[in-house]
Amino acid sequence: MPTERVDYRRIANEITSKIKSGELAPGEKLPSTRQLAEQYGVHISTIHRVMSLLKDRELVEGHPGKGVYVAEPERESE
């Protein structure tokens, strides 16, 4: 489904922007998959793709049974 591809990228980019702007702070818990699906009006599988992309970008980290949290930024070596 072509719109799903567009949706997951759009949503991932929106969440990325919120993280980079500080609107979503390091350590902050993201809404549940179900909540995000309802918020964006997409299927849960789309949100799974979003989370996978954000994890690949090292912007979020999952904690099984606890949720997905904004990752601490990588500190550059001094």
Q: What is the CATH number of the domain that holds 7?
A: 1.10.10.10
Confidence of residue 75 (pLDDT cuts 50, 70, 90): low
Q: 0.75 cut: is pTM over it?
A: yes
pLDDT tens, residue by residue, 14-72: 999 999 999 999 999 999 999 999 999 999 999 999 999 999 999 999 988 999 999 99
The 3-state DSSP class for residue 67 equals strand
In a domain, 78, yes or no: no
CB 53, CB 12: distance < 8 Å: yes
The 3-state DSSP class for residue 7 equals helix
In a domain, 77, yes or no: no
CA–CA distance, 77 with 48 (Å, rounded to integer) = 32
**Domain limits for position 30:** 2-67
CA–CA distance, 78 with 35 (Å, rounded to integer) = 40
Total of domains in the chain: 1
In a domain, 37, yes or no: yes
Pair of tokens at residue 41: 């009006």
Confidence of residue 78 (pLDDT cuts 50, 70, 90): very low
Confidence of residue 74 (pLDDT cuts 50, 70, 90): confident
